[in-house]
Amino acid sequence: MARVESKVAEAKTTTKTTAKSETTTERATHRGARADYRWDGVEERPYKEDDRALFKSITRQVLFSDPELHGELRYFEVAAGGFSTLERHQHMHAVLILRGRGHCLIGGEIKSLETRDLVTVPPLTWHQFRASKGEPLGFLCMVNALRDKPQLPSQEDLARLTADPAVAEFLDGSPHGA
């Protein structure tokens, strides 16, 4: 943990130094909503660049990221039956379900999610989001702009998590999300 924090502190200094020159020109004050939870001027990106991460049918749109903002707001959309990577990290997730329904795992607990529910993922807590089988699950996720990289579970972590049959069932994709 000490290592992570010192990395973050270092990165912060760098950002502060360069902030002025990066921000001046590119801010659009208004970006209209388009159909189907897309936005003008917002690019739909791949969910992850990490090849080792397991996930299914999920896209990422960065709605707000600016050197003057200490947080970022992203929109993730998990297609019906899809799921996000099972991972953990020091930084927190602050999530608002914008569209659809589904389930999430947070630590050892499974929560049923409805539109506009709020989810807090505490530091170093294993988590995964799964859409229902019938419709996409779209959610806003606020994170610190400067944050550590996600960790993937080891075989031991997975064994510990799936020792609980409900968690094993969740990670298998059934019957939750039906």
Residues catalogued as catalytic: 141
167 binds a second copy (CB under 8 A): no
64 binds a second copy (CB under 8 A): yes
DSSP H or E segment with residue 14: helix 2-23
Work out which of 94, 135, 158, 162 binds a second copy, going by CB under 8 A: 94
27 vs 52 by CB, closer to a second copy = 27
20, 98, 32: which is closest to 66 by C-alpha?
Answer: 20
Work out how close the CB of 163 gets to a second copy at its nearest, in angstroms, rounded to a whole number.
Answer: 20
**Beta pairing, strands 44-46 & 102-106:** unpaired
Query: Would you say how long the chain is, in residues?
Result: 178
Burial class (CB in 10 A: 0-12, 13-18, 19+), 162: middle
Other Cβ atoms less than 10 A from the Cβ of 124: the count is: 15
Q: Which of residues 96-135 bind a second copy (CB under 8 A)?
A: 96-97, 106-107, 109, 111, 113-123
89 binds a second copy (CB under 8 A): no
Q: What is the DSSP string of 124-156?
A: T--EEEEE-SSS-EEEEEEEESS-PPPBPPPHH
Q: How many residues bind a second copy (CB under 8 A)?
A: 44
118 vs 168 by CB, closer to a second copy = 118
22 binds a second copy (CB under 8 A): no
Residue numbers of the site for a second copy (CB under 8 A)?
27-33, 37, 39, 42, 63-64, 66, 68-73, 91-92, 94, 96-97, 106-107, 109, 111, 113-123, 140, 142, 144-146
